[in-house]
Structure 1
């Protein structure tokens, strides 16, 4: 009878709440990004916290921070579940990702403040040394955003 009990067992219904990341819109806008202090980490787009629905299980908030920078729409469902369930490899990957972005930002800040490099020179150097396929205009906008956010 255990098999039948498992098959027909009622699934616990978890109450839903408005997504605290996107405030129920299903997408994160510039105001949300500023509110969550992720200006250097996120861009406006679909909300990964609620998977574009505008609602989340109330229990999710206790499992993962609303401002977890690694939980973005680019993550697969499998990776998303790993992050939420505190999988050690996923946590290590998230920490590595944050360290990479922070290092990139620090490099730009150092180039701009101490080496007195222009925004265009910084962009050109990063385009030569960095991964291929980066749009120069997008990179220049990001460098300007760093300068603005860091108040340089």
Structure 2
């Protein structure tokens, strides 16, 4: 599934930069380690794994993540907790995960329509993580699975921005008593969004109506 509306995709507060912290030498070492681990795993040679682990400080520091990467390539065995094995997210899933104001139904971004995922994915990524939609690249998804700090920070910031937007709309309508169109104009002005298409504005006004409907009880 994708974010609820087109404009939600614009809530990215940071651009995705590739980590360039590893030097060419470290990259070649990592590849060698990876190949050795695969071989040791394939031929059931625990002694080889032990040797590789103590070859250098670099290996000792990265052995855990290297094994995690290997596990990512294993056949998925766990039923997807987001779509419950269907391969797509429907309105029932959205309501169950309390994402009515954040997601639209469609292909499941958690399992990529497979219905099953790796145990590592279930352990490290919550099924209701708003940030993980079809807009994310596979590399970004892998970073989340491996616990990359920058990726986790982007996910947290995305959720904070989304919550802020929903709260902002609610207060403008229920407290400020502004109409839908005025709220929409203020939103696009806030994000310096110029030349907004009629379709985009209509879509956002429709979303404002959904927010008002969902948050009505809170302000009554």
Question: TM-score, normalised on structure 1?
Answer: 0.85
The question of whether the paired residues in 1 share the 8 Å contact of 2:76 and 2:116 is answered with no
The question of whether the paired residues in 1 share the 8 Å contact of 2:120 and 2:145 is answered with no
Say which is worse superposed, 7-16 or 75-84, in terms of deviation. Answer: 7-16
Question: TM-score, normalised on structure 2?
Answer: 0.61
The structure whose residues are more often helix, as a share, is 2
Shift of 1:128: 3.9
- Residue of structure 2 equivalent to 1:108: 169
The question of whether the paired residues in 2 share the 8 Å contact of 1:14 and 1:59 is answered with no
- Tell me the distance in 1 between the aligned counterparts of 2:176 and 2:41: 65
Which structure is higher in RCO with an 8 Å CA cutoff and minimum separation 6?
2
The question of whether the paired residues in 1 share the 8 Å contact of 2:87 and 2:114 is answered with yes
Q: 1:4 to 1:18 in 2, by over 3 A?
A: closer
- For structure 2, the 5+ residue unaligned runs are 1-32, 43-69
Partner residue of 1:64 out of 117, 125, 138: 125
3-state DSSP of counterpart to 2:78: strand
How many residue pairs match? The answer is 151
How big is the alpha-carbon RMSD for the aligned residues of Structure 1 and Structure 2?
Answer: 2.4
Shift of 1:42: 1.5
- For structure 1, the 5+ residue unaligned runs are none
Say which is worse superposed, 12-21 or 84-93, in terms of deviation. Answer: 12-21
The question of whether the paired residues in 1 share the 8 Å contact of 2:82 and 2:128 is answered with yes
- Tell me the distance in 1 between the aligned counterparts of 2:132 and 2:186: 29
Shift of 1:91: 0.8
1:148 aligns to 2:213 (yes or no): yes
1:39 aligns to 2:100 (yes or no): yes
